[in-house]
Amino acid sequence: MKLSKNLTLDEVTKSATAIKKGISNEPTIEHMENLKAIAENIFQPAREHFGVPIAVTSGYRSEELNNLIGGSSRTSQHCKGQALDIDAHVYGGVTNKDLFEYLLDHTDFDQLIWEFGDAQDPDWVHVSYKKEGNRGEVLRAKRIKGKVHYEIY
């Protein structure tokens, strides 16, 4: 099933961990609506702007899967179908920094996170989108003494 012209449901729900552990990672109807919204309002505009494939490395996560991989327990927008971790490096042609800056300047997001990496390029980009009430929060994730810390970008 296509969520947008260049993004399928399989791409945002596939999880090696879920497959290996036999965990269901099937979204509800509400989660599907959220996935379509983020695909159409965030992913697709970036895909069309750059004209190259962009990988989704993590999309929808059932609560059971999210808990198993150590995701944010009560706050993960991945569990609501409102967040994607995207990585332009997988296919090349554009950097994660370019992707981050495009989303920052051209989309109405809820949260945009420069995930780790260095000052020149994040390892991946986390972006979330809600149909209403997007906060426009921009953060940078860093590891300090083995713990993840978020600072305002």
pLDDT value at residue 41 = 98
pLDDT value at residue 113 = 98
| pTM as predicted | 0.93
Whether CATH 3.30.1380.10 fits 2-152: yes
Contact 99, 125 (CB under 8 A): yes
Q: What tens-digit pLDDT sequence spans the chain (153 residues)?
A: 999 999 999 999 999 999 999 999 999 999 999 999 999 999 999 999 999 999 999 999 998 898 888 777 667 899 999 999 999 999 999 999 999 999 999 999 999 999 999 999 999 999 999 999 999 999 999 999 989 999 999
pLDDT value at residue 18 = 92
The ranges assigned to domains in the chain are 2-152
